[in-house]
A and B are shown apart, each in its own frame.
Chain A
Amino acid sequence: MNRHLISAGDLTRDDALLILDTADELARISDRPIKKLPTLRGRTVVNLFFEDSTRTRISFEAAAKRLSADVINFSAKGSSVAKGESLKDTALTLEAMGADAVIVRHSASGAPQRLAGWVRGTVVNAGDGAHEHPTQALLDAFTIRRHFGRSSGPPAGPEAARTGTAGSALDGLRVTIVGDVLHSRVARSNVLLLHTLGADVTLVAPPTLLPVAVGSWPCSVSYDFDAALPKSDVVMMLRVQQERMNAAYFPSVREYSRRYGLDVARMAQLPDQAIVMHPGPMNRGVEIAARVADSARSTIVEQVANGVSVRMAVLYLLLGGAEAES
């Protein structure tokens, strides 16, 4: 594995499976009375968040603390960034404080890549602009794997997840990602990672919300949600990112919801074993109906819990061993 985790596309199939298998073992720790391991004792992890985030920051913080790392939280509000400090100067400050890993979220695509060139520690991308969010893709893949036990064949359900998912990939599973692909770093990371793991990914979105270069992505594209539904093992709904929209991408929220929202009637068209995912935070009533979000098929809460295990695995594999010789 690389020293940094910037893009889900950098992970080989073996890397990705190693992370998922490690997360499988680490997930068992959350069932124990003492949910802590001494592995990263004496290591410092900095959460460098230039953009608001609740679940990702808390998830990384919980993961680092369960591995006994020291965690320093940095948010742009109330810091020197508000006084005009550049990313590079902030990075050098962290470097001087001896950060072993920097978890970075930034509104600019490519910021983690730049940061990786400035600091000696490991850089983990926790979301950069509309580019990538690799740990979200890993936790989504982990959640899918727990539900579909093995690479193909009938689904095994969450019970099977306790025993035999190790080493298996997602070969042949049909994943449909629906919504605002254009502004979504989750979609890009998921397409890259799920493709690496052997899943067939279909993106469904209005043409205005697809990136220009989507033809070069390893997935297929459709504008018709209803046609994709019966052929989906997994439906992943994306949030309509109104804060990133400065133009009209669709006529009205109501029309978007009618054509691309997942409501109860659409959920009924899914195959029996299919699951519904959402990276959160949800706009209930826009891309996903409240009854769907709260239904038994929804893995939304599970995804959050799995996020901690997957991020523990990433931190362990990047920080736990000796530094790779370069």
Chain B
Amino acid sequence: MPAAGPAPGRPEPGPADRKTVLEPEEIRRALTRIAHEILERTDGGAGVVLLGIPTRGVPLAQRLAGRIEQVEGRPVPHGSLDITMYRDDLRLRPARALGRTEVPPGGIDGMVVVLVDDVLYSGRTVRAALDALNDLGRPRAVQLAVLIDRGHRELPVRADYVGKNLPTAKQEVVRVMLAEVDGEDSVMLGRAADQRPGGPAGARSHP
């Protein structure tokens, strides 16, 4: 959709000015590839626990677990890891509602934990997740899988598995929509309607 491409320096009309960067098919293929990469990198998924970061990391972790199970024929423990209480920007915004932390019954001690999130941006969410993991146990290794890496890191963080590298400008907004949460699958790139003073740390991936 070249018509939607924003011309630099011109005021943008509004939320309609978005372009789709990943179609449902592409999301599906990216997740399948990540699932295979996880299997390769972890000797067939031995000792792997997938932990999704709410909100949209959780269904992504579920989907990855489903694909790995299809390939290997055995279930992969998966759950969720809420990082709200570990954020470094809590005091910049009013207190927010908590997500759910659900660790599989086997725990994470001695396991290879793969953190799953929708968008990797500043890296602050991942830092918070590492702190949160620290309070839950001692994994053998921690890896990171993201659907979108949009750059602009503010911390020394790197993803092990990336669905798509998406070069963005800081004032752009990446919106990931998943059927489990939003009713449909897509990834869109648009301009921020309002720019918060908190910057990338506060804005995360959503407008």
A: residues with CB less than 8 A from B are 18, 21-22, 25-26, 28, 32-34, 36-39, 67, 316-322, 324
Contacts and interface: CB of A to CB of B under 8 A. Distances in A.
Interface stretch (B15-23, B24-32, B84-92): B84-92
Is chain A's interface secondary structure helix, strand, loop, or mixed overall?
loop
Contacts of A22: 97-98
B101 A321 contact: no
Contacts of A33: 137
Contacts of B85: 37-39, 67, 316, 320
Contacts of A37: 85-86, 135
B167 to A, nearest CB: 32
Contacts of B135: 32, 34, 36-37
Contacts of B91: 320-322
B98 A26 contact: yes
Contacts of A21: 97-98
B82 interface: yes
B77 to A, nearest CB: 17
Contacts of A320: 85, 90-91, 95
Is chain B's interface secondary structure helix, strand, loop, or mixed overall?
loop
A299 to B, nearest CB: 24
A321 B87 CA distance: 11
B188 interface: no
Given A32-B135, A33-B137, A36-B135, A25 B94 contact: no
B93 interface: yes
B203 to A, nearest CB: 15
Nearest 9 interchain pairs by C-beta: A321-B95, A320-B95, A321-B94, A25-B98, A39-B85, A37-B85, A34-B135, A317-B95, A322-B93
Nearest to B100: A25
13 contacts: A18-B97, A28-B101, A32-B136, A36-B135, A37-B135, A38-B131, A67-B85, A319-B95, A320-B90, A321-B91, A321-B93, A321-B94, A322-B92
A322 B98 contact: no
Contacts of A321: 90-91, 93-96
A318 B90 CA distance: 12
A25 B90 contact: no
B104 interface: no
Nearest to B91: A322
Given A25-B98, A39-B86, A39-B90, 4 more contacts: A21-B98, A37-B86, A38-B86, A321-B95
